[in-house]
Structure formats: C-alpha cells, structure tokens
Amino acid sequence: MQISQTWLEDTVWGGALLGGGGGGSVAEGLALGRTAFGLGRPELVHPENHPGDGLLASCSVAEAPVGRRFHIKPGDHMRAVELLREHLSGELTGLIPEGMGGRGIVDGWLQSAVLGLPVVDLPGDGRGHPLALQGTLGLSNLADFISWQACAGGDPERGEYVEMYVSATLQVADKLIRRAAAQAGGAVSVARNPVPLQQVIGGGVPGGIHTATALGREYRRTLADSTEKAAAWYSERMTANYWGEIEITGNRVNYSSGMSVVAIDAPPFRLQAVGTFLTLEREGELLARYPDLMIMLDAVNGMPLILPEISPGRKVLLISTPSDSLQLGAGARDPGLLESLEGLIGRPMVS
C-alpha cells in the first residue's frame, strides 16, 4: 500500500506513544515523513505480501550518548543505504524500521520514497528500546553472525561529516557506529544487517506499524475532546496504569559505559532512563521496569514527550503499561541484553 499524509500523522503519534520517551519526537517524525513525501511516495507491505527473496536492511538513527547537535540531511539517509548496497552480494528488496518512537517508526520511509524499495511492516520492536542491539530482530542471539552496517551524517562545514562502513560482530559494530555518531555531533543515519526475511520474521513484530497507526488515530480523536480523556482512553486501551498528573522537579544525566543514564524526579515518583524509560518507582517501591512501557504526556496538549523535553517545572501525565500488553521484538525479551542494563542503572532487570 502507498502511504498517505494523514496516515503519516497517525503513525507518528502512535509510534511516539510506544516510544517510552525515546525514538525521536512527534515533530521529528513528521518532518522526516513530510520530507519523504516531498521526494516520492513511500510504500508499506506486510511481511506476508513480501516475495521473500532478496535481503532486508534495517534503518535507524544512531545517537551518541552526549550532544544533540544533529545534522542529518536527506542525502545522508540515502548515502547510508547506498554505502551498504555497495558491499552486498545479493539484492536489497526491502527496508525495516528498528523500533518505535515519533521518528523511529518512519525510519526507512524516505529511502523507500526515493529508491522504490518497500518498507516491510516488521519493526524490530513494538516499543522503544534502550540498546540498538534490541532492535536487531533476534540476530544478537546468533553467536557467529557478522553484521554489515553503514552510516552517514554530520555537518561538513564544522568538519564533522562522517560516513563509514563496518563489518564486525554486532557488539563491535554497534560501538563503532555510536563513536561515529559522537564524531558527527550527535547522530548518524544507519542502514544495517541485510538478511533474508525468513531469517528474522520471528524476531520482529509483524504488522507493528499498522498497530501503531491505529493507536495513534484513536488517541488523536480522543485528544480532540481533552487531554485527560485521551490519557484515560490510552490507559484502558493498553491495559495500563494511569498515575495521574505530576510535576517534574529534577532531571539529571550521568554517563556510564558510554551511555547516558537519566534520573527524573517527580515526587512521589522517580524514573530512570537510558534512551527510554527503564524503571518507575514510588517512594522506593518498583512499579514498572523495562520492557514495561512508561510514557509521559504533556499535561496541556497530550503530546507524548521524549527525554530531552522533560524538564523541571513541566507538568505531565504519567502512564505505565505492563509488557504483557505490548508487542515485543526478540531483543526486548533477551535476558543477556537485559542484564547488561543492570550495571547502568543499579537495578535488577531480569526476574
């Protein structure tokens, strides 16, 4: 199916509601999507309707742990895919977004509009995730898997433009891409892990984009009545816990193992985040932890907020959704990846 602009807005809002404070803002997603429509018409296909031959590559934006001086132009998104294709022995026949978020859910749409490659509705995760490895469709569980990745981005006038191709284990490639993002001022566009559909269909979320679109459409309709009504509707739809309106009193960032660890105070609640919210506590009691989904909505306009937008003095509506109410990719359930988060935040992440 070809994607309409109305469909774009619903999809971006739905992706943001599932981003858990990560994956880019609604504004970033709409800007990227509208740029795609200015260049062509992206196409979306369900995995069942994809011929299954050729290779699928995942598209995303890799962010550095420090700095948000993003400088990614449409040509950078294209260059990452082109650089990856230069090293392929097979044909690239589709693109996959790695997860949710206002921008994350439309990763690959611009490349689809220009190249005529379909976006396959098999996102690597049905929610935002803290580690890039958690959006790799279960490939991180293959001990002998070698990852092919390409990236591009950065301001050439500041001497920060980077483009790079790497072939290495997923763990090594991930570290190199994050270093490239830091050199580029904060972020690079990435195309990676070209594999056949049948190798990864069990590790992603078939139909995850359509699910997010439906969620965003109904949320926006309810939001037209009131923010409180929309929050209540979302909580009922997602079988979530609605904790009401709170005020942010603190937002502190520390750095550990090359990652940004954010602590947010909103008495009586405290949250920790690495790219997305990981834990929610109330006076020392653990109420939710990743892969449970925690989101904050602006108390005035109902906009799903990302971590950089959550500042002291801001009033938000807080909601947490149990993981069994979510569609999760293989990476969100991987005990080894969950354990790697424990050292970052000092909290148990594996039951």
Average model confidence (pLDDT) for the chain?
A: 94
Q: pLDDT tier at 319 (50, 70, 90 boundaries)? A: very high
User: What's the pTM?
Assistant: 0.95
Q: pLDDT tier at 52 (50, 70, 90 boundaries)? A: confident
User: Does the pLDDT value for residue 257 go beyond 70?
Assistant: no
As a whole number, mean pLDDT of residues 255-274 equals 89
In the chain, what are the domains?
Answer: 5-200 (3.40.1610.10), 226-345 (2.40.390)
**Which has the higher per-residue pLDDT, 1 or 196?**
196
- Position 348 scores a pLDDT of 81
- Beta-carbon contacts of 172 under 8 Å, excluding residues fewer than 6 positions away, are 166
As a whole number, mean pLDDT of residues 172-177 equals 95
